[in-house]
């Protein structure tokens, strides 16, 4: 990982230590001689570039920049990774995205983001090289030269290697799905709810007969299946809640699952209320959350039937994103306001353990430490790498890497 440090004060508190004293495994790291002191740090050595589990390395004056809060590190003029950044931009936040494991040695993150005032919002799609933390702007323009690209809530891979962006109009005149060429950044409009653009309001707008006002889309869920069909959530207090599917050519629409008036009802299972959000595919099903009450459920795409998987509870109950971890046989469930809510949920036992509680799962012996603990995750996205680490969007404009096998975390990109 490249570090661009414009102002750093480092004190080698562990200078002269032996190999046995190190608490990270990479002897080429510039922080190899900055070990953490406790016995468990030596027993569970970290593969990350720095050990951020101890207070000495988190110190504002003499610590390691990668171990501190991203917001403060940015105020000190320090960048992690190279390339354009949203750090310090007004109201900037990472909102969604995906990890392409086949691009680059450790994969590439495609991140949907927004910034600016709510009445004149803007957006961008960035990509982050997971091996280096370097950032590149992929998309930053809308198809219309007279309008900026609005806040981008999510981005997914589309057919033929293109990207689909789920975005809001910069002046709050409807939702959009844009198709983007990742090589050039060029965008085209595929679908919108904007009444001023009727050419994109075919039956794909989901104006269901007998209930033309049924569909009020939210920005809380977005998915694209292998056939190129798009899944969106609807939430209407009068007519119902559920998930719709737009055809691959965006000319037709159907309710996949839902409850409410007859036209919005499909499938049996737990009653849906609140917002429907956090879509992900696994084992031939679509998984999602409802928020009132909090439910994590699976949808049979053939029948629309819903199966309750888990009911998150407690003061930091998760409700936004889900990641299936095949290697560990658990779901990572994340996202809640005013906190860092990241749970490992074992569907076989029903155990749901947050990352600050070590020792329940043998593969997570220690509680989380370092910048992943900063109380600024909220609903921001989290991704799972092929080596089992989590990439966590912290402070709105940074990516932190968390290593469950040791509890360690560092700033990956800022």
Task: Report the pLDDT averaged over residues 391-410.
Answer: 97
Evaluate whether residue 220 is within a structural domain: no
> What is the pLDDT, as a whole number, of residue 207?
54
> What is the pLDDT, as a whole number, of residue 165?
98
Evaluate whether residue 227 is within a structural domain: no
Evaluate whether residue 84 is within a structural domain: yes
Q: What is the pLDDT of residues 15-43, one digit of tens each?
A: 333 445 899 999 999 999 999 999 999 99
Q: What is the pLDDT of residues 40-88, one digit of tens each?
A: 999 999 999 999 999 999 999 899 999 999 999 999 999 999 999 999 9
Looking at 186-195, 207-216, 235-244, which range is the least confident one? 207-216
> What is the pLDDT, as a whole number, of residue 195?
61
Q: Please, which pLDDT band fits residue 206 given cuts at 50, 70 and 90?
A: low
Q: What is the mean pLDDT of the chain?
A: 90
Evaluate whether residue 96 is within a structural domain: yes
Is the pTM higher than 0.75?
yes
Q: What percent of the chain has pLDDT over 70?
A: 90
Structural domains counted in the chain? 1
Give residue 326's domain range.
3-201+312-413
Evaluate whether residue 176 is within a structural domain: yes
> What is the pLDDT, as a whole number, of residue 217?
86
HEC-encoded secondary structure of the chain = CCEEECCCCCCCCCCCCCHHHCCECCCCCCCCCCCCCCHHHHHCCECCCCCCCCHHHHCCCCCCHHHCCHHHHHHCCEEECCCCCCCCCCCCEEEEEEEECCCCCCCEEEEEEEECCHHHCEEEEEEEECCCCCEEEEECECCCCCCECCCEEEEEECHHHCEEEEEECCCCCCEEEEEECCCCCCEEEEEECCCCCHHHCCHHHCCCCCCCCCCCECCCCCEECCCCCEEEEEEECCCEEEEEEECCCCCCEEEEEEEECHHHCECCCCCCCCCEEEEEEECCEEEEEEECCEEEEEEECCCCCEEEEECCCCCCCCCCEEEEECCCCEEEEECCCCCCCEEEECCCCCCEEECCCCCCCCCCCCCCCCHHHCCCCCCCCEEECCCCCEEEEECCCEEEEEECCCCEEEEEEC
Task: Report the pLDDT averaged over residues 137-157.
Answer: 94
Evaluate whether residue 110 is within a structural domain: yes
């Amino acid at each position: 990982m490249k570090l661009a440090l414009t102002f750093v004060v480092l004190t080698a508190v562990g200078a002269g230590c032996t190999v046995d004293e190190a608490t990270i495994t990479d002897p080429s790291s510039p922080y190899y001689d900055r070990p953490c002191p406790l016995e468990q740090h030596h027993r569970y050595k970290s593969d990350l570039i720095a050990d951020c589990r101890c207070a000495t390395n988190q110190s504002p004056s003499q610590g390691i920049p990668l171990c501190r809060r991203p917001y403060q590190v940015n105020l000190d003029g320090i960048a992690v990774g190279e390339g354009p950044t949203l750090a310090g931009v007004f109201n900037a936040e990472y909102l969604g995205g995906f990890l392409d494991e086949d691009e680059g040695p450790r994969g590439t993150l495609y991140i949907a983001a927004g910034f600016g005032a709510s009445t004149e919002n803007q957006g961008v799609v960035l990509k982050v090289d997971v091996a280096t933390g370097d950032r590149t702007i992929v998309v930053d323009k809308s198809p219309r030269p007279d309008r900026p690209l609005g806040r981008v809530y999510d981005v997914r891979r589309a057919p033929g290697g293109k990207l689909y962006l789920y975005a809001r109009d910069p002046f709050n005149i409807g939702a959009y799905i844009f198709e983007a060429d990742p090589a050039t950044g060029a965008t085209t409009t595929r679908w919108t709810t904007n009444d001023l653009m009727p050419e994109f309001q075919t039956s794909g707008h989901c104006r269901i007969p007998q209930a033309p006002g049924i569909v009020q889309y939210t920005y809380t869920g977005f998915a694209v299946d292998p056939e190129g069909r798009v899944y969106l959530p609807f939430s209407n207090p009068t007519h119902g809640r559920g998930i719709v599917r737009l055809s691959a050519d965006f000319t037709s629409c159907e309710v996949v699952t839902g409850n409410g008036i007859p036209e919005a009802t499909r499938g049996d299972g737990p009653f849906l209320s609140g917002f429907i959000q956090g879509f992900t595919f696994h084992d031939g099903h679509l998984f999602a959350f409802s928020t009132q009450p909090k439910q994590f459920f699976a949808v049979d795409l053939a029948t629309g039937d819903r199966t309750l998987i888990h009911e998150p509870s407690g003061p930091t109950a998760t409700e936004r994103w889900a990641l299936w971890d095949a290697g560990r046989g658990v779901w990572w469930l994340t996202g809640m306001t005013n906190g860092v809510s990241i749970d490992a949920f074992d569907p076989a036992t029903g155990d749901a353990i947050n990352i600050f509680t070590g020792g329940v799962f043998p593969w997570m012996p220690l509680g989380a430490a370092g910048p992943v603990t900063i109380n600024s995750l909220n609903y921001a996205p989290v991704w799972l790498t092929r080596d089992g680490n989590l990439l966590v969007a912290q402070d709105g404009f940074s990516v932190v890497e968390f290593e469950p096998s040791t509890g360690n975390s560092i700033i990956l990109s800022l």
